[in-house]
Structures are given as C-alpha cells and as structure tokens.
C-alpha cells in the first residue's frame, strides 16, 4: 500500500514551458487535492476533485489546470510556467463526506523551479 | 485573509520538556481541527484531530485542547523527543466539506 505518490520529485522549467504533475493514490479515496507550499505561506489549495470526472477551484487556481480521468489519479498542469510558480507542490486525498472524516493524506511533494 | 493563524513561527525546547504550539482561527463555522507534522523533503502527515464537540483529545504524548469561545487551540507534546523536531501545521474545516484551511506552520526544534 503506497498511499499517495507524486511524479516527478523534482523539476526545473524555463519560463513559458509546460508540464504535468501526476498524483496517484491507492486508498480508494474519493477526494483529491493539489496544494502549493511557499516559504512563510503554509499550504494553499490550488484545485481539488470530489470524484472521478469532477474538478473545482481552490484558493489559488490561476495558471493551473487539473484533470481527474481516473479515480486514483489527479493531474496538475502548468500550460505556461512562470517564476511565481516556483514552489513545492503537494497532492493529498481523503474519503468522501459520507465517511465523516476530513483527514487528508499527503504525498511526498514535487519541488518545481521555474527559471 | 488567513483564517487559521499560527504565531511564533519557531520553538526550541529541551528533550523531555513540554512543547506547546498555539493556533487561532477566525471562522466560527469551523468545527473540526487537525494538526499535521512535516519533516523536510516529506509531505505532511496527520498527527491528531479534535471535533468541536470536545475540548480535549489525547493520543499518547500528544494532546490537543480546544477553546471554542476564544477560537483557539493548542497542541501539547509531552515529553518532547528529538524525533519531534519538525514543522507543525494547524488546520481547520467545516465538517463535511472536506476542505482544510491551513496555518503557516510552526518549526519545533527539540534539543537533546
């Protein structure tokens, strides 16, 4: 049981390049999330998904797109990377509301640098 | 607008002593609170939680206290161990909407 995994672990991009971050979970969780963590800012929600085929905007969605084609995967895309998107990105997942817990389980993170 | 606030960004404590981390929130609708622990180069891991119907929850060396009237919660670690050196995030949610609001985190250093 790997929990939540993220690919890649590190990436360096040039301004304007695009990339996709992959998140996978094997806990059969309905909900999945993408956060970014910046120094002194805590964790900020980018986008989230409440189930396969659904996505919704979080606190800081601009410049990012997401897709949830399979229940176990949640992809985060940067179409045209900017230096302001240099950050550590965390994926998380949790059970659905009906299971009455808001505990989220996090992946190890992807460190992205945009030059 | 920061709905969950963690002041005093860093804390140093001797091994064996108590570590106390504080967290304040502004949204009176929050009814579920969590603490996460994060080591460098790893993702946050769930530590302990408390529902608003309680004022205390204990799990081994970790205890969380909730004061709803003051919109304040705290995490006590007793006794502190070197392995507790990490960043601790306070988080809150309105139960059932599965979205967490996080504080900025507190760095704890336990000195052997």
In angstroms, rounded to a whole number, what is the distance separating the alpha carbons of residues A54 and A110? 23
Cα separations (Å) of A5 from A1, A52, A70, B57?
11, 18, 15, 30
Nearest to B74 by CA among B93, B55, B101: B55
Q: Give Cα A87 to chain centroid, integer Å.
A: 12
CA distance A18 to chain B (A): 24
Q: Specify the 3-state DSSP secondary structure of A102.
A: coil
Chain B residues with CB under 8 Å of A39 CB are: none
Q: What residues of B are in contact with residue A109 (Cβ under 8 Å)?
A: 41-43
Is the Cβ–Cβ distance between A55 and A74 less than 8 Å? no
Cα separation values, A80 from A17, A112, A115, B53, Å: 5, 13, 12, 46
Q: Which chain B residues contact residue A96 at CB under 8 A?
A: 98
- The rounded mean pLDDT for chain A is 92
Task: Give the model's pLDDT for residue A81.
Answer: 95
| Residue B41 sits at the chain A interface (C-beta within 8 Å) | yes
| Cβ–Cβ under 8 Å, residues A1 and A15 | no
CA-based torsion, A96, B95, B100, B9: positive or negative: negative
For residue B9, the chain A residues in CB contact (below 8 A) are 40
For residue A108, which of B44, B94, B2, B27 has the smallest C-alpha distance? B44
B99 in A contact zone (CB under 8 Å): yes
B53-85 pLDDT, tens per residue?
Answer: 999 999 999 999 999 999 999 999 999 999 999
- Chain A nearest CA to B53, separation (Å): 14
Instruction: Give the pLDDT confidence of A35-76 residue by residue, as tens digits.
Output: 999 988 889 999 999 999 999 999 999 999 999 999 999 999
């Amino acid at each position: 049981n790997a929990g939540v995994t993220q690919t890649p672990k590190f990436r360096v991009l040039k301004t304007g390049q695009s990339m996709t971050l992959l998140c996978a979970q094997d806990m059969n969780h309905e909900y999945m999330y993408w956060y970014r963590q910046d120094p002194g800012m805590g964790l900020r929600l980018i986008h989230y998904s409440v189930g396969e085929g659904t996505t919704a905007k979080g606190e800081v969605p601009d410049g990012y797109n997401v897709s949830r084609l399979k229940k176990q995967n949640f992809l985060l895309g940067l179409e045209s990377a900017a230096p302001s998107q240099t950050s550590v990105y965390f994926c998380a997942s949790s059970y659905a509301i009906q299971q009455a817990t808001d505990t989220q389980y996090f992946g190890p993170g992807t460190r992205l640098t945009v030059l | 607008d920061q709905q969950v606030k963690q002041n005093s960004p860093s804390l140093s404590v001797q091994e064996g002593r108590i570590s106390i981390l504080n967290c304040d929130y502004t949204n009176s609708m929050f009814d579920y609170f969590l603490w996460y622990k994060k080591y460098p180069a790893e993702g946050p891991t769930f530590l302990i939680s408390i529902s608003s119907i309680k004022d205390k929850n204990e799990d081994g060396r970790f205890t969380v206290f909730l004061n709803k009237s003051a919109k304040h919660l705290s995490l006590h670690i007793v006794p502190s161990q070197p392995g507790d050196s990490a960043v601790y995030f306070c988080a809150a949610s309105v139960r059932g909407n599965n979205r967490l609001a996080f504080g900025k985190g507190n760095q704890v250093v336990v000195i052997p």
